[in-house]
Amino acid sequence: MITKEYITELKHRGNGDIATLINTQRDVGSINYILENLGQLPDNFHADFLYSLLNHNHAQVRLNAVKNIAKLNGKSDIHSLFTLYQKEDDSSVRREIVSAIGRQRKCQNKPLLYSFLNDTDPKIICQAIRGLLVFENDKEVEEHLHPFVNHENEMVRTVIYKEYFAKEKKTENTLPHTETYDFLKNVVVNADVLDALKYAPDDSIHLTFTSPPYYNARDYSIYPSYHAYLEFLDKVFRETHRITKEGRFLIINTSPIIIPRVSRSHSSKRYAIPFDLHPYLVKNGWEFIDDIIWQKPEASVKNRIGGFMQHRKPLGYKPNSVTEYLMVYRKSTEKLLDWNIRSYDCKTAEESKVADGYETTNVWKIDPCFDKVHSAVFPAELCKRVIQYYSYKNDLVFDPFAGSGTVGRTAKNLNRYFFLTEKNETYFGYMKSQKIKTLFEQKETKFFTLEQFKNATI
C-alpha cells in the first residue's frame, strides 16, 4: 500500500522515483492519491512527469497535475499550462490553470491574464482579475479592469466595483455600529409604519423581524390590488433598508396565501407572496441570505386535502400547507460579516453567544401560537431563535407590523431593545394593557402616537 510517508520519501530522493511510481499505477484513484499527497515540492524535484499528466484522459488527474505544477513557482512552464487551457473542456481544470498562472505574480504573465478576461466562464474572469489585482497601482491593469464594472456577470461587476469604485461610506453624524438613538429604544408607535419611519434616522436599527399583512387574506388590512400590496411592502422595506445599519439583517415571515373563490363557478386564488416580494427586496439593496422553513404540525393547519381524500382524482390534489417562510436578507455591503461581528466588545460578544441546543437545519419545527386578540401572532420560540441568531445584546430590533408585540416582548427578554410600529388601535391598546403584566415592565416602554413620536425625535 502506498503511504503518505512513502510518497514523502520518494519525493525527496530527487531522482524521478515518484514518476516511476505513478507510471506503474493502474488505477486513477492511486495516481490522484499520490498527486494529492505530494505537499511542498523540493528544489531538486523532477517535474517532467507532471507535464505528461496534463494529457491524461481523466480530468481529476489533469487538475492535480496543474496544482502541482503551480507549486514549482517560477519554474512552472506557463506555455504548457496555456496550451492545455486552450483545449481543456473541464471547467475546474481551466480555472486551476488561470489560478496557477495568476499566483506566479509575474509581470510577463499579464498579457495571458488579460486574455483570460475574455473567457465566457465568470469564475475564470474573476480568477484572472485576482491575478491582475496583485499589480497594485498599475495603470495598464486598471485600464483593462475598469470597464468590467459594467460586465454582464454580477460577481465580476461586484469585484471590480469593490476594488475601484466603492467609496468608504461617510461616517460623520452616524453612530458607532453597536449603538443607536435613545429615542428609538423600547418604543411602540401607534401609526402607519410609513408615517412613523419618516422620523427614524438612517442607520439606526440592527435587526428587523416581521410578519407583514397577508394581502387581503385577513381582515386587518385591505389593499385595492395585489400589485398595490406589493408596492406598499416595497416602500416599507425600502425605508427599513434606509434605517438599517450596514450589513445587518431583515427577516420576513410570510407564505403563499389563498383567497377563497367568489362563487362556485370560480376557483380560489393562490398568491405566492414570498416569491413575488423577493425581486423588490433584491432591487432595493437587500442581499438574499437564506430561506428558513417554519414547519407546523399538520393537525394545526387548515385541512385542504379532505376533498382529494374522497375523490383521489389527479389535478385535484391540494396538500395541507404546514410551512411558512422566514426569508433572510442582509443589507448589501462591501464589508464581510466579520466586520459586523468585530464591532462588538468582548463582553457583549461573549454574553450574546448562542447557547447549545440551537437549530442546525433550515427547517424549524415550531407549534403555532393562537391568541384571543390577534389572529396571527408569532410563537415566542420563533422570535427567540431569530433574535438570538441575528442580533447581539443591546441591539435594537424593529418590527414594522408589531401586532401583539411578540418581537418586542422577546427582544426585551433577551436583553435587546425594540422599536415597534402598529397601526391598529386595538392591537396597540392590547400591547399597552400588557405593560404592567409581562410585556414591557422592566425596561421602561414608551407608547406613542405619531405626533408624540415625532416630538420625541426632535
The verdict on 192 binding ligand SAM (CB under 6 A) reads yes
Residue corresponding to grid cell 417562510? 325
Query: Which one of residues 415, 424, 452, 457 is an interface residue with ligand SAM (CB under 6 A)?
Result: 424
Q: Is 324 in the site for ligand SAM (CB under 6 A)?
A: no
Task: List Cβ<8 Å contacts ≥24 apart for 14-22.
Answer: 14/42, 14/44, 14/45, 14/46, 15/46, 16/46, 16/48, 16/49, 18/46, 18/49, 19/46, 19/48, 19/49, 22/49, 22/53
Proportion of the chain in helix, strand, coil states, percent, rounded to 5:
45, 15, 40
How far, in Å, CA of 15 to CA of 36, rounded? 20
Q: Which residues contact 52 (CB under 8 A, 6 or more apart)?
A: none
* 401 lies in the site for ligand SAM, by CB under 6 A: yes
Query: How many angstroms separate the first and last alpha carbons of the chain?
Result: 78
Q: Which of 11, 374, 412, 416 binds ligand SAM (CB under 6 A)?
A: 374
**Is 177 one of the binding residues for ligand SAM (CB under 6 A)?**
no
Q: Which residues are bridge partners to 295 per DSSP?
A: 323, 365
Which residue bears the cell 445587518?
248
Q: Is 193 in the site for ligand SAM (CB under 6 A)?
A: yes
Whole-number Å distance between alpha carbons of 103 and 48: 20
Residue 391 binds to ligand SAM (criterion: CB under 6 A)? no
Candidate list 131, 247, 403, 408; residue touching ligand SAM; CB under 6 A: 403
Q: Which among 42-50, 122-130, 372-380, 441-449 is the span making contact with ligand SAM, rule CB under 6 A? A: 372-380
Restricted to residues 224-243, the positions that interact with ligand SAM (CB under 6 A) are none
Q: Is 447 in the site for ligand SAM (CB under 6 A)?
A: no
Which residues, numbered 112-151, are part of the site for ligand SAM (CB under 6 A)?
A: none
Three-state DSSP state, 143: helix
Closest CA to 445 of 150, 139, 372, 434: 434
Q: Pick one of 51, 82, 135, 220: the residue that binds ligand SAM (CB under 6 A).
A: 220
| Residues 23 and 49: beta-carbon distance below 8 Å | yes
Q: Which stretch binds ligand SAM (CB under 6 A): 158-166, 285-293, 322-330, 397-405?
A: 397-405
Nearest to 151 by CA among 124, 112, 111: 124
Q: How far is the CB of 70 from ligand SAM (least distance, A)?
A: 54
State how far the Cα of 73 lies from the Cα of 87, in Å rounded to an integer. Answer: 23
Asked if residue 398 binds ligand SAM (CB under 6 A), the reply is no
Span 246-305, contacts to ligand SAM by CB under 6 A: none
Measured from the CB atom, is 13 or 218 closer to ligand SAM? 218
Select from 39-47, 150-158, 376-384, 449-457 the region that touches ligand SAM (CB under 6 A): 376-384
To ligand SAM, the closest distance from the beta carbon of 190 in angstroms equals 9
Q: Would you tell me how many other CB atoms lie within 10 Å of the CB of residue 107? A: 12
Nearer to ligand SAM, 220 or 389 (CB): 220
179 vs 192, which CB is nearer to ligand SAM?
A: 192
Closer by beta carbon to ligand SAM, 203 or else 422: 422
The set of residues, in sequence order, having a beta carbon less than 8 Å from that of 283 and lying 6+ positions away, is none
Q: Is 423 in the site for ligand SAM (CB under 6 A)?
A: yes
Give the residue nearest to ligand SAM (CB). 403
Sign of CA pseudo-dihedral 424, 184, 196, 290: negative
Taking the least distance from each CB to ligand SAM, the nearer of 131 and 400 is: 400
CA dihedral (364, 365, 369, 370) positive or negative: positive
- Quick one: 378 or 417, whose CB is closer to ligand SAM? 378
Question: How many residues sit close enough to ligand SAM to count as binding (CB under 6 A)?
Answer: 19
- Contact between 245 and ligand SAM (CB under 6 A)? no
Of 102, 131, 213, 247, which one interacts with ligand SAM (CB under 6 A)? 213
The residue type at 188: V
Cα(382)–Cα(387) distance, rounded to whole angstroms? Answer: 9
State yes or no: residue 181 binds ligand SAM (CB under 6 A): no
The one-letter amino acid at 231:
E
Q: Rounded to the nearest whole angstrom, what is the least distance from the CB of residue 451 to ligand SAM in the complex? A: 16
Binding ligand SAM (rule: CB under 6 A), the pick from 221, 323, 388, 452 is 221
Q: Which stretch binds ligand SAM (CB under 6 A): 119-127, 133-141, 167-175, 422-430?
A: 422-430
What length is written for the chain?
458
Determine if 406 is a binding residue for ligand SAM (CB under 6 A): yes
Residues that bind ligand SAM (CB under 6 A): 192-193, 211, 213, 220-221, 374, 376-378, 401, 403-404, 406, 421-424, 427
